[in-house]
Chain A
């Protein structure tokens, strides 16, 4: 099979250098700089309107950046039309051609390149096997289910042997079960083909589960670029911490740091937490994840807040406990459902405590002032 899946060396890296994109007076993407390695699965994660789709459309060539440079495989692609770029875009609504049978959909990119019909047909069938959809060649798009259409869209994009695949929230239309299945499938196809994937999503679970690295975006700016684990465990600001998971947040005045730890004194007491070296001088808040918040009957030695339990929600593997501290502050904790850890009752008064090494003092999102 003449498919590049076996030779991942041809996939290309992508460099964005100080890329800005304005729509009228609105700056959709502000000074984005990122270097995506060949063969990497990179996700842009952010809420809708954060500029992630604009980045994707700039890479695919439908929008030209207002400022900055985009390089694909080291080559500046300024002024190159989408049909001249080695990228293949998978649209959010897939944009399959409903008037062509499946195999012509997949082979459209080859038809454009003047490849003869027999070869096109064969390649389409090979690709259908690759995406686990053999025998669908002569069906029409309307005869396929959502997941099957998804696979056809992937096959159609792979058919042109792109160096880079761009995916614009392609799973958002699928139901949960199928979405989880397609996540694994996409990851497997990416590994098999070795093509660079740039994936756009607002679903943090999707981004964290599939990607080699994630770029979290807000209001046109890239907030943080890191491996999924790092994004979750070491967010650089409050936006990233909140977007990729739940937090208990405390406000207060921050004291000087020593050994990477600083003290925060606020209405709920004095806490100690990790602080990043470059955070000095910024307004900081304390963020700690519910799963790192422990509930005890007795007050712990440090970082301990008294709260009244208001809700106990059973989630299966863990139990989510919500409570209210002084001044109506809402806190939550996750108690493992291991049969050993005691689960508090609604109305009970407990202490929510956390380890200083697990809590972070973070500035707000990096936005234009």
Chain B
């Protein structure tokens, strides 16, 4: 603070602080509190607002437990409330997207950080970035075209003789969420790549060589030296990709099959179709809370501290 005052003077420093305070309080904290507040009150016609029915209630939260349906979970029949089922699917497939991006990004990050010649790095990074200059909506529609029954992917696979019949990707081969998982993986892989790339870059190459010199095969060097060092990057990449995937509305809307429901779509339906902002707010709160708990649990399991991620 002293440093800031000395460098920019009282006027500018005050302006900075006010702007930051405005951003945090008015644009982040206040709307969230407003949502939290609204989630505890019933959705009423305008005439009844402030009337005897406008009282504190948990009924918005209870709605998520309504409407049980028969569904199956890895072949096991199970009865779940329909929105809980959507919720579980969203968390599970977001975790799958996180895993897929990790599997794709880690080798690439290692290659960029330690193997590629420094001269080729700018070109390679540019090639990675160019697709990201296109808006997410357009990229999702591009994938819609790629994955359609008479689209280029099926044409390619047929031309290569890998398949005889076209595959209905949007209906899914493994699950009805296939298309969503593929497109989310594509959209968010760079959010996994860059934190890992940055953390591997900071690893002393001598340590990798020392491990090899001591007789370590490549996989053990990664397991014992590179991955432990890159863990903060891996963790922050995972948190980012998971939260972005679980919160994605556009991709599931564009490429999702009729059987694939993504929880943000449910929330959107409450807000936009039912115009019931109170229940929508309650669902958002549940989603936020459970996602945070899920991330914290995952961090516990992988022994990552919050301060590691902030690095």
Contacts and interface: CB of A to CB of B under 8 A. Distances in A.
Contacts of B229: 99
Interface string A148-166: 0000000011001000000
Contacts of A108: 211, 214, 216, 224
Nearest to B210: A95
Contact of A83 (B206, B213, B224, B228): B213
Given A83-B214, A156-B214, A97 B209 contact: no
A88 B216 CA distance: 12
A244 to B, nearest CB: 29
A271 to B, nearest CB: 50
Contacts of A87: 213
Nearest to B205: A95
Interface string A75-92: 000000111100111010
A209 B274 CA distance: 87
A160 B207 contact: no
Contacts of A96: 210
B248 to A, nearest CB: 34
B54 interface: no
A112 B207 contact: no
Contact of A160 (B204, B214, B224): B214
Contact of B214 (A81, A88, A93): A88
A177 interface: no
Contacts of B122: none
A113 interface: yes
Q: From DSSP, what is the main secondary structure of chain B's interface residues? A: helix
B214 to A, nearest CB: 4
A91 B228 CA distance: 21
A263 to B, nearest CB: 53
A85 to B, nearest CB: 8
Contacts of A97: 207, 210-211, 224-225
Nearest to A88: B213
A112 B204 contact: no
A81 B224 contact: no
Contacts of B220: 111-112
B45 interface: no
Contacts of B217: 83, 112
Contacts of A91: 206, 209-210
B212 interface: yes
Contacts of B224: 97, 100, 108, 111
B72 to A, nearest CB: 43
B213 A89 contact: yes
A82 B213 contact: yes
A314 interface: no
A81 B207 contact: no
A109 interface: yes
A11 interface: no
B215 interface: yes
Contacts of A89: 209-210, 213
Contact of B204 (A81, A83, A93): A93
Nearest to A159: B214
B228 A60 contact: no
A295 B216 CA distance: 61
Given A108-B224, A112-B220, A95 B214 contact: no
A109 B209 CA distance: 13
* Central interface residue in B206, B207, B210, B229, by most chain A CB within 10 Å: B210
Given A83-B215, A83-B216, A99 B228 contact: yes
A111 to B, nearest CB: 8
Interface in A295-318: none
Contacts of A81: 212
A95 B206 contact: yes
A3 interface: no
B228 A82 contact: no
10 contacts: A82-B209, A83-B212, A83-B216, A84-B215, A89-B213, A93-B206, A97-B224, A97-B225, A112-B215, A112-B220
Given A96-B210, A97-B207, A160-B215, 18 more contacts: A60-B213, A61-B213, A82-B212, A84-B215, A87-B213, A89-B209, A91-B206, A93-B204, A99-B229, A108-B211, A108-B216, A108-B224, A109-B215, A109-B216, A111-B220, A113-B215, A156-B214, A160-B214
Interface of B: 204, 206-207, 209-217, 220, 224-225, 228-229
